[in-house]
Amino acid sequence: MTAKDNENRAGIVLENTKTRWSCRVFRDEPVSKDVVETLLDAANYAPSPMNTQPWEFVVLTGEPLMRFRENVAEWLKTPEQKSEHEVSLLPTGDYYTSLPKDLSDRKKEHLERMGKQAAAVGMSLKEAYPFTFYCYNAPVVVTVIGDAVKRDRHGLEVHQGIAAAIQNILLVAHAMGYGACWIGDIMRFGRRLHEHLGLDSKKEVVGAVALGRPDMDSPVNRQRVPKRPPKVDWRGY
Ligand SMILES: Cc1cc2nc3c(=O)[nH]c(=O)nc-3n(C[C@H](O)[C@H](O)[C@H](O)COP(=O)(O)O)c2cc1C
């Protein structure tokens, strides 16, 4: 590898990293198993604490994905979800004030932006928000499973490793022309999803990736979120 090769490679990786975006409307097209295998192989190369590779995946498409969505629909109809969902959708009480001010401002800004995206397709935020639980209309959903670990230092490291694996999936999917969205909201489906997937009691769903070809005709997909410069305290530089 020459210095020029390195420079070219860095340029490509940087460009791919900076142009990745969260896709929330997908084309009605299947994704081949080969593609998903490539993405999961990329996930496997993520760094992990002591090389534990603490991630597992259950990949849903076709019938199993349809059954998952039917279950989500049933869950959203339950009275507890209806009320809890209202709260999480438009946070009230000390939800915002419990966060540092700059973070709560950014969360509010995010919800406002999601509201505008929903309006662009003729929906209110309230109507549009539940689509996150279905993983939007993605033809493939990669559920990400980890061991149920205590929320201590060890647990945090395990989750950080899994997050790195998810990011690898997002970056490679983007490079291959696929759209993807990290779905943390899937954790709200919790116990019910655990049972739906038939997981061992020691496992837990820690996230999901909605995957497919992006529908670029949708105004939802044509918006990009602004990125702020990082907060950095340079010392000795
Ligand atoms: C841990 C985590 C959880 C997320 N959960 C969701 C989710 O449940 N639904 C969703 O639509 N987007 C979700 N996202 C995507 C973020 O909203 C998105 O990354 C952020 O708004 C920045 O936009 P960008 O990915 O287009 O740069 C999640 C991202 C992360 C890292």
Q: Do 65 and 177 form a contact (C-beta atoms < 8 A)?
A: no
CA of 183 from ligand 1 middle (Å) equals 7
Amino acid at 221: N
Given a cut of 80, whether residue 103 has pLDDT beyond it is yes
CA of 23 to the centre of ligand 1 (A): 9
pLDDT of residue 125: 87
Closest atom of ligand 1 to CA, residue 110: 21
Higher per-residue confidence, 96 vs 128:
128
Query: Residue range 50-76: average pLDDT?
Result: 96
pLDDT for 172 beyond 60: yes
pLDDT at 96: 63
The candidate with the shortest Cα–Cα distance to 132, out of 178, 83, 88, is: 88
Mean pLDDT, to the nearest integer, of 25-52? 98
Average pLDDT in the 123-127 region?
88
186 CA from centroid of ligand 1 (Å): 12
In order of their start, the domains of the chain are: 23-78+132-221 (3.40.109.10)
Give the position of tokens 């097209």.
29
Give dist(CA 213, CA 51) in Å, integer: 32
Determine which residue's CA is closest to atom 19 belonging to ligand 1: 22
| Cβ(75)–Cβ(189) below 8 Å | yes
The binding-site residues of ligand 1, defined as CB within 6 angstroms of any ligand atom, are: 21-22, 24, 110, 132, 181-185, 225
Mean pLDDT, all residues of the chain: 92
Tokens of 140: 């493939």
**Nearest ligand 1 atom to alpha carbon 113:** 21
Q: Please report the pLDDT score of residue 205 as a whole number.
A: 95
User: What is the per-residue DSSP string for 186-203?
Assistant: GGGGHHHHHHHHT--TTE
Give per-residue pLDDT as tens, 173-195: 999 999 999 999 999 888 899 99
Helical ranges in the chain per DSSP H: 3-19, 33-44, 62-77, 79-89, 101-120, 125-128, 153-175, 190-197
Q: Whose CA is nearest to atom 17 of ligand 1?
A: 22
Q: Which residues neighbour 82 within 8 Å (Cβ) at sequence distance 6 or greater?
A: 76
Ligand 1 midpoint to CA 2 (Å): 37
d(CA 155, CA 157): 5
The Å distance, Cα 36 to ligand 1 centre, comes to: 20
